[in-house]
């Protein structure tokens, strides 16, 4: 017997002893297996039918949220959608991409009248909504009218969803040191104020509070909504800290994974789906040429397993 075969045999005996231990009572998916032996059954939670093609499904989150939205729409699901244009392309309303938990919380608060930031004028006379990605207006009148419409659309999307998917993306944020409110991205140079604007890392506790607050506020207005949390597998493009972006990416994703699991253990009707783990452990070539965005094969596998976990052809029967 070769060294490799001997090692595998010892591993199998060890796994068998763990599985047979009456005190531990472990199932196969609770014991770490060699990568070649991993399969969806190791990663997926128990099936919990939440929707069929008639169920109103909404979503918000990072750029991976757009993949989820596109797949649901193309597959004929009842995807909740309000608004048109680029800012409405990524989710159920024109909240654009919402990468961090603070901005997720802020947009839910804005939809229900608890957050009403003033647009910021830049040095060129334009008005910026710094709390949404790439949201700039040519005048204060345009900003006022468009933001008022957006709040109505955001509220409707949250109210009309029976299932709401939140994709968590990153933990590094830019924020206003005076108000402590978080921006959607680094402020544009024309609106940047060095004395007020800075970056930091949201702590695990801050992330938990942000997601909990967003879900609890949503449920005050939509009591029966089921929430699915997932962590985007897409890595950071760059880090604001003086260290490797690879290190920063793992810091960011680990805090979000902790957040998702902390919330699912704390709140009923909140479910975790392992998009991040599926991408890294089940897909042979998960990333495109840029080593960041997931391939179509990865998206197809993730969504197939998503339907297998939460879908039902007859949920309402």
Which pLDDT belongs to residue 1? 46
Q: Which residues contact 30 (CB under 8 A, 6 or more apart)?
A: none
Which pLDDT belongs to residue 315? 46
* Whole-angstrom distance, CA of residue 212 vs CA of residue 142: 33
* Whole-angstrom distance, CA of residue 199 vs CA of residue 149: 30
Which pLDDT belongs to residue 22? 63
Domain extent listing, the chain: 39-114+155-310
Which pLDDT belongs to residue 4? 67
Contacts of residues 277-280 at CB distance under 8 Å and 24 or more positions apart, as own/partner, are: 277/43, 278/40, 278/43, 278/233, 278/302, 278/305, 279/233, 280/233
* Whole-angstrom distance, CA of residue 251 vs CA of residue 61: 19
Query: Do 226 and 164 meet the contact criterion of CB atoms below 8 Å apart?
Result: yes
* Whole-angstrom distance, CA of residue 184 vs CA of residue 174: 7
- HEC readout, the chain: CCHHHHHHHHHHHHHHHHHHCCCCCCCHHHCCCCHHHCCHHHHCCCCCCCECCCCCEEEEECHHHHHHHHHHHHCCCCECCCCCCHHHCCCCCCCCCCCCHHHHHHHHHHHCCCCCCCCEECCCCCEECCCCCCCEECCHHHHHHHHHHHHHHHHHHHHHCCEEEEEECCCEEEEECCCCCECCCCCCHHHCCCCCEEEEECCHHHHHHHHHHHHHHHHHHCCCCEEEEEECCCCCCCCCCCCCHHHHHHHHHHHHHHHHHHHHHHCCCEEECCHHHHHHHCCCCCECCCCCCECHHHHHHHHHHHHHHHECCCCCC
Please compute Rg for the chain using Cα positions. 21
Query: Do 195 and 188 meet the contact criterion of CB atoms below 8 Å apart?
Result: no
The two structure tokens encoding residue 57 = 């499904």
* Whole-angstrom distance, CA of residue 273 vs CA of residue 102: 21
Query: Do 26 and 18 meet the contact criterion of CB atoms below 8 Å apart?
Result: yes
Tens digit of pLDDT per residue, the chain (317 long)? 455 677 767 767 776 776 676 666 677 777 776 666 678 888 899 999 999 999 999 999 998 888 999 999 999 999 999 999 888 889 999 999 999 999 999 999 999 999 999 999 988 889 999 999 999 999 999 999 999 999 999 999 999 999 999 999 999 999 999 999 999 999 999 899 999 999 999 999 999 999 999 999 999 999 999 999 999 999 999 999 999 999 999 999 999 999 999 999 999 999 999 999 999 999 989 999 999 989 999 999 999 999 999 998 544 44
Largest CA distance in the chain: 78
Evaluated on CA atoms 44, 313, 161, 221, the torsion sign reads negative
Query: Do 286 and 234 meet the contact criterion of CB atoms below 8 Å apart?
Result: no
Which pLDDT belongs to residue 99? 96
The two structure tokens encoding residue 214 = 């967003």
CATH superfamily of 39-114+155-310: SGNH hydrolase (3.40.50.1110)
CA angle 68, 169, 232 (to 5 degrees): 45
Which pLDDT belongs to residue 282? 92
């Amino acid at each position: 017997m070769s060294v490799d075969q001997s090692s595998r045999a010892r591993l199998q005996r060890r796994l068998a002893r763990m599985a047979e231990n009456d005190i531990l009572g472990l199932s196969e998916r609770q014991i770490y297996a060699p990568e070649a032996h991993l399969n969806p059954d190791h990663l997926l939670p128990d099936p919990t039918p939440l929707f069929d093609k008639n169920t109103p499904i909404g979503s918000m989150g990072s750029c991976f949220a757009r993949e989820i939205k596109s797949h649901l729409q193309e597959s004929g699901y009842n995807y909740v959608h309000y608004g048109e244009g680029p800012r409405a392309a990524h989710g159920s309303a024109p909240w654009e991409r919402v990468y961090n938990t603070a901005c997720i919380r802020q947009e839910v608060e804005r939809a229900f009248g608890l957050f009403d930031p003033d647009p910021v004028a830049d040095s060129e006379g334009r008005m910026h909504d710094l709390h949404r990605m790439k949201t700039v207006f040519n005048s204060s009148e345009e900003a006022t009218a468009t933001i008022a419409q957006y709040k109505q659309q955001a509220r409707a999307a949250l109210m009309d969803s029976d299932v709401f998917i939140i994709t968590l993306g990153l933990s590094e944020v830019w924020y206003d040191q005076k108000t402590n409110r978080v921006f959607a991205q680094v402020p544009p140079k024309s609106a940047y104020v060095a004395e007020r604007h800075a970056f930091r890392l949201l702590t695990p506790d801050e992330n938990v509070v942000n997601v909990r607050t967003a879900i609890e506020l949503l449920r005050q207005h939509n009591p029966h909504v089921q929430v699915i949390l997932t962590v985007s597998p897409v890595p950071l493009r760059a880090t604001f800290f003086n260290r490797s972006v690879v290190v920063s990416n793992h810091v960011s994703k680990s805090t979000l994974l902790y957040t998702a699991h902390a919330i699912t253990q704390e709140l009923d009707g909140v479910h975790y789906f392992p998009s991040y783990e599926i991408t890294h452990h089940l897909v042979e070539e998960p990333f495109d040429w840029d080593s960041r965005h997931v391939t179509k094969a990865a998206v197809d596998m993730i969504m197939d397993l998503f339907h297998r976990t939460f879908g039902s052809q007859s949920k309402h029967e």
